[in-house]
Amino acid sequence: MPRVKKKGSNKKAKTVVKGAKAKKSKKSSVVTYGGYNYIDKNYKPSKEDFVVWMWMKGEKPLPILAEAVAAESSVGTFTKIKTMNKRVFTHYRAHVFEVLPVQDNAGFVKIAYPFEHFDAKNLLQFEASVLGNIFGMLELDELYVIDIAFPKKFQRYFSGPIGLNAIRKYLGTDKNKRPHVGTIVKPKVGLTPKEFAHVAYEAYIGGLDLVKDDENLVDQPFCPWKKRFDEVYAALDKVETKTGEKKLYATNISDISLERMLDRLDYVAESGAKMIMLDVFVAGPAVVKMIAEEAHRKGLFVHAHRAGYAAMHRGRYGYSFGILAKLYRLLGVDQLHVGTGVGKMDGSPTLIRHFGSIVRDRKLKESWFPFSLSMEYEKHVAKTFPVASGGLHAGLVEGVVEIFGTDVIIQAGGGVHGHPRGTRAGAESLRAAAEAAAKGISIKTAAKRNKALKEAIDHFGFVPREHVRAMLNFGSRNKKTLEAMIRKGGYDVARMFDKTLDPRGD
């Protein structure tokens, strides 16, 4: 039996390369993985390793499931192979270095992958390896990738965003640091370019910083992209002249044709506008990287909508949005939807605060609740502006600021256009709420001096910051208890705490 010193370890550990008899699955005639040992509890990941944290459950004992996942995602297959050699197994295999059972056949697993395993300049190869075939394995009944820590050596292949500070400087909020406020023109589809631009004008003149297309509006016959862009940009220019405030329009350039996307990007840049929008999940990482780099070369910010991500993020198979948030930041998006914690989208205040930290913080700390690995971004990776959007209105702004602080973009669609007096008053209510919350003034107190804000909270309701703070404090005060419950009960218990705060408030 060979003995080799493990890379990234300061101890000598036995590496078992043994022939194992193939075992039959209870569910089918497919043989289980065998032949090699990927579990090495003495292994200490090096600073160049990729570390992956997973929850898995299946019909076999947890160590066998962990072996299977490590093998399939690195150098192995379902049985011992004649072509394996010591060099490959020693330097390129995955290392299962932590196994935390909840049941005999379920638990949490940490796996380290050597940098040399990957085509590091190629994110698609990484995803195909670590987020690929493992989800189709018959041995698994559940598989959820909780987090991935990307080494700095890998991060150097990405340019990152222009970022939060540059957007603040452009809009002139780098001094007062108030939250940015925006809207999505509603109805989502159906308006003509002139109708769309009128709604945008009303939103801008009411005080909003940003107007954006919805994710499913691009170039339909009733609202052609170029005509819509020209009309909205004219409205934007008119409002900037009238108010002296800079405004942004996130026009959706997403398309199956790269040529059409690049043509639209060029048109936006040539017009003097400053932002494009991309449906990043459906576009895919290769497109996101290319479009972001081209946009940045032309001085444009990239607003990233995450439509479709929840297919991966929710349920018993998939991976956390936090992983995508890390990748989108590296790929260069400047604004990214991360959830609200208090609106209509999935995610507790604690989890959404965590997603906000992923796109803004330099250092991420390891924790059990709400699940994260320690990781530090390279210095060149600027901050991405988190976007809170989905079921928001002025009465929820206090809670959003409690979750994110003031470095957040608060977007409301129905919460602006559904105001009793229409879009302009809805925009005014959102801006007033954001300014009050940034100063620590209660929204209800501010509403006494602002008619539009009072009408908004009377119509939509109000959630005080204390309500949200109580939920956040519950997690921090009971962290050890919650971790113990999760360790004992598994990922189903963790899901119990990942619930959006009821937005109806008081």
Q: Which residues are catalytic?
A: 186, 305
Question: How far is it, in rounded angstroms, from Cα 304 to Cα 300?
Answer: 13
Judged by DSSP in three states, 205 sits in helix
* Cis before 349? omega within 30: no
Asked whether 262 and 288 are in contact (CB, 8 A), the reply is no
Q: Which residues contact 54 (CB under 8 A, 6 or more apart)?
A: 69, 108, 109, 110, 111, 143, 144, 145, 146
Among residues 152, 244, 248, the alpha carbon closest in space to that of 203 is found at 248
Indicate the DSSP class of residue 77. -
Question: How far is it, in rounded angstroms, from Cα 109 to Cα 17?
Answer: 21
Q: Where are the alpha helices (DSSP H) in 96-255?
A: 123-130, 152-155, 164-171, 193-205, 225-243
Question: How far is it, in rounded angstroms, from Cα 198 to Cα 236?
Answer: 10
Among residues 157, 174, 108, the alpha carbon closest in space to that of 285 is found at 157
Tell me the C-alpha to C-alpha distance, in Å, between residue 435 and each of 184, 185, 278, 406, 458: 20, 22, 28, 10, 19
Displacement of CA 386 from its chain's centroid (Å): 9
Q: What are phi and psi of 167, to 5 degrees?
A: -65, -45
Question: How far is it, in rounded angstroms, from Cα 252 to Cα 265?
Answer: 10
Question: How far is it, in rounded angstroms, from Cα 45 to Cα 33?
Answer: 24
Tell me the C-alpha to C-alpha distance, in Å, between residue 215 and each of 7, 102, 403, 446: 45, 40, 25, 33
Q: Where are the alpha helices (DSSP H) in 206-284?
A: 225-243, 258-271, 280-283
Question: How far is it, in rounded angstroms, from Cα 218 to Cα 14?
Answer: 57
- Tokens, residue 327: 């990748």
How many residues does the structure list for the chain?
506
Cβ neighbours around 107 below 10 Å, total: 23
Question: How far is it, in rounded angstroms, from Cα 413 to Cα 327?
Answer: 27
